[in-house]
Every structure is written in C-alpha cells, then in structure tokens.
Amino acid sequence: MPELAEVDFYRRQWDEGLREKITQVQLHAEKRIFRGTNPRLLEAVRGQRLQSSESAGKQMLFRFSGEFWLGIHLGMTGKLSVGPRDYTPQKHDHLVLFQTKRALVFNDARQFGRVLIHQGKELPEWWSSLGTSVTSDAFTQKFMAEFLERHGRLAIKPALLLQKGFPGIGNWMADEILWRAELAPRRPAGKLKPAELKRLWKEVRFVAREALKKIGKDFGDPPLHWLIHERWKRDGVCPKHKIPLRKETIGGRTTAWCPRCQPS
C-alpha cells in the first residue's frame, strides 16, 4: 500500500495540469471507489481550473476553482498518472479529468482506493479532521508520547500504523523507524522509557522527511544502508550487522527486525 512518500509522488503527477481548465470528465460511477459520495457532483468540475494540490498522510487534496475539492486515497493499488489529450480510458481508469493538453488519470485495479468530493468555501471535514502531520512542528515528542500512552496496550509496531497518530506511516516505514530507533516491534507502546521515546520521535521524523526527499520527489530509492532493501528479501540481513532478520506477523502485518539491534 502506498505510504506517505509514495502518495506525495503520485500527487505531484497531476501538478502538470495546474492552472488549466477541466474540459471533460469520464468516470465509472458504479465503482466502489465512489462509496459514500455522489459521483455526479464531479460534473461541477467541468470548466474549472486545477488550482493547487497537497498531500497529508495517505490522502491527497486537489482544489479547483468554483469552490470544488477533490480528495483521493490510493488504497492498495491506486495511482495517478498523466496521459495525452486523446487518451483512451482503460478498464481500471475509474476517473479521468481531461484538459486541453492532457488527461489526469486515477487508476485502481483492486478498488480499495477512494474518491471524495466536496463543494464549498471551507475545507472539507474529511480533510481538516486528518491527524497531525509527522513532519510538522505540531508533531512534538510530547504529542507522540501522549498518543502512545492512550494506546499503551498495543505493541509499538501496530501503534505506529494508527493513522490518527502517525498519518502516512505504513508497514515498511514503521519497520524502518523501529530498526533505527532500536526498538523491538512487540514492545508495548505505553511502556517505552523517556530515552526510547526520544529516539522513536527523532526517527519518525527523520524517516518521513528523508522518504519524502528520496521517494516523494522522483520515486527514487532510499539510501542503500536502509533496512527497506533487506526487509523484502527472503534471506534479508541487518544492514549493520549482516545477521539474518527475523520476520513475523505482528498486528496483522508482516514485520522484519534485527534481533541484535532490537532486542526484546
């Protein structure tokens, strides 16, 4: 599933169409990506200009003239791309916004993604209610510690996946953070010592910011000494000590860690 940096990369793809008008809208209104909303409202975007875009956690927001807002969640297989002006929508292209010079395409084969629509002067509630960004000044060590305390019975790995506290952090980023912070993934979230909380907060922000630089900009790879390059391998080893990684399902997600760097 796309995480914070991958989401920002895909969000940037549509920036090619900034300041341009939407000339035509094609969509598969019956698909589940429109669950909970009325796809007919998308007709209102015809003739409007794409004014700005931003991402927060695993979601994106596109602002159009005419007080129109479009939210997109990529789910597991969603992606945004740009096609030529004579683009022919494919089977899984569930939303295509045409402009004079291009087509803005949302493709989602498995339909776990979602399209949200809002028209009005104020930010839509589904956007303004998102959790505090882990890269913002508001995400302080105190804020993080209090959130973990409220979810203290959870193991730290699934706690990091709670989007209200750590928006945008997904499976591989959580493993990367815990490896760098030298914390075992099964440690109770509410039992971390002050020094451990400080390390964790530092690494959450570091991994998120570096991922945005390396992946969010051009879908590049993180540095070779990061855990991500080994965690996917069947015989992956710790980048520091070259000993085999342990892998288990924790909180319903495949988890990889180094037993030497992250002792229980």
What is the tens place of the pLDDT at every residue in 27-73? Answer: 999 999 999 899 989 989 999 999 999 999 999 999 999 999 999 99
- Domain stop point among 128, 155, 183: 128
Residues 178 and 78 in one domain: no
Is residue 264 scored above 90 in pLDDT?
no
Please check whether residue 264 lies inside any domain of the structure: no
pLDDT of 1 > 80? The answer is no
**Burial class (CB within 10 angstroms; exposed 0-12, middle 13-18, buried 19+) of 79:** middle
Residue (of 153, 77, 138, 144) closest to 110 by Cα position? 77
Residue 263 counted as domain residue: no
Same-domain pairing of 18 and 99: yes
The answer to whether position 246 is within a domain reads yes
Q: Check whether residue 123 and residue 152 sit in a common domain.
A: no
- Least confident interval from 75-79, 142-146, 172-176, 216-220: 216-220
77 and 54 co-located in one domain:
yes
Nearest to 237, CA basis, from 223, 247, 252, 249: 247
User: If you count them, how many residues does the chain have?
Assistant: 264
This prediction's pTM: 0.90
Question: Are 192 and 250 within one domain?
Answer: yes
Domain boundary among 94, 128, 162: 128
Asked if residue 155 is part of any domain, the answer here is yes
Residue 103: alpha-carbon gap to chain centroid: 23
Q: Could you give the number of structural domains in the chain? A: 2
Does 158 share its domain with 215?
yes
Strand partners, 98: 24, 103
pLDDT band with cut points at 50, 70 and 90 for residue 223: confident
CA distances from 176 to 60, 230, 246 (A): 24, 11, 14
> How far is residue 190's CA from residue 138's CA, in Å, rounded to a whole number?
21
- Asked whether residue 221 is assigned to any structural domain, the reply reads yes
The pLDDT score that the predictor gives to residue 217 is 75
Nearest Cα to Cα of residue 95 among 36, 37, 42: 42
**Residue 182's pLDDT is what?**
98
Looking at residue 164, what is its pLDDT?
94
- Paired tokens of 77: 């297989």
How far apart CA 156 and CA 174 sit, in angstroms, is 9
Residues 174 and 58 in one domain: no
Domain that holds residue 41: 4-128
The residue from 79, 97, 128 where one domain ends is: 128
153 in a structural domain: yes
Phi-psi region of 88 (alpha: psi -120 to 50; beta: other; left: phi over 0): beta
Q: 84 and 194: one domain?
A: no
Establish if 134 belongs to a structural domain: no
